[in-house]
Amino acid sequence: MLLICSIALHAQNDVTRFLGIPVDGSKYEMIQKLKAKGFQSTPFDKDVLTGEFNGTDVNIYVVTTNNKVSRIMVADVNTMDETDIKIRFNKLCRQFQKNKKYLPASLSVEDYSLSDDENISYEMLVHKKRYEAAYCQLPPTVVDSVSIRKEIMSVLFSKYSEEQLVNASEESRKEMIMAVLADLLGRYSKKSVWFMISDYYGKYYITMFYDNEYNRANGEDL
């Protein structure tokens, strides 16, 4: 809990990174930086890159909003059957859970893994169910525990009076803490990294998204 609070408080000016590259700037600049990492343009579109990412052959798409990079989309090149896509999805879930750079985007969900008996083909076809897992990317630095406590108390006292905190029941204190965490994670949702199972004529593949919400449309053009 302390880690969540401290990280979120220090992330306000930080943006999502893909392979260490900020998801920001112009499309041309981003493509050049990705090429420097070893990715190459595809024969069908020079702005779509291909290469290996996390042990899998992928295509990479650079998405812009108002001429600023707002999303990196990473799609598997090869499709697979239902059994293999569940294995791949669950493996990614485990990797994100173990990676200290990420936290689940929702306080109510810790594990997005699929059970062995989940019938994804039926659920996606009949119920239009979407299988996805979402995480918040953490800042590159983490402060010490003393600073963390100071920051948490600062946020708590900005939302509640000393009298409210002192007189609150155990249940109310938990609710206050959860409110603070939700507020902090809300700020941190600007650095969203998520993935989903995509369908292509009965075969499946993973699509991943590295989003910089600071650059995405928020209704300014309405």
pLDDT tens digits, 33-88: 999 999 999 999 999 999 999 999 999 999 999 999 999 999 999 999 999 999 99
User: How high is the pLDDT of residue 13?
Assistant: 55
Q: Is the pLDDT reported for residue 4 higher than 70?
A: no
Higher pLDDT residue, 9 or 184? 184
| Higher per-residue pLDDT: 162 or 126 | 126
Percent of the chain with pLDDT over 90: 59
CA–CA distance, 153 with 7 (Å, rounded to integer): 15
Cα angle value 220/65/218 (rounded, 5°)? 30
Supply the DSSP symbol for 202: T
Confidence of residue 144 (pLDDT cuts 50, 70, 90): very low
- Complete edge-to-edge strand list for the sheet that includes strand 68-76: 40-42, 45-53, 56-65, 68-76, 203-212, 191-200, 132-137, 102-104
Closest CA to 103 of 72, 135, 133: 135
Q: How much is the pLDDT for 149?
A: 59
pLDDT digits (tens, 9 = 90+) for 119-129: 999 999 999 99
The number of beta carbons lying within 10 Å of the beta carbon of residue 192 is 19
**What is the pLDDT, as a whole number, of residue 150?**
57
For the ranges 163-167, 179-183, 199-203, the one whose mean pLDDT is highest: 199-203
More confident residue, 129 or 161: 129
In the predicted structure, residue 177 carries a pLDDT above the cut 70:
yes
14 within 8 A of 138, measured Cβ to Cβ:
no
**Does the pLDDT at position 8 exceed 60?**
no
- Does pTM surpass 0.75? yes
Locate the domains of the chain by residue range: 2-210
Q: Higher confidence at residue 100 or residue 59?
A: 59
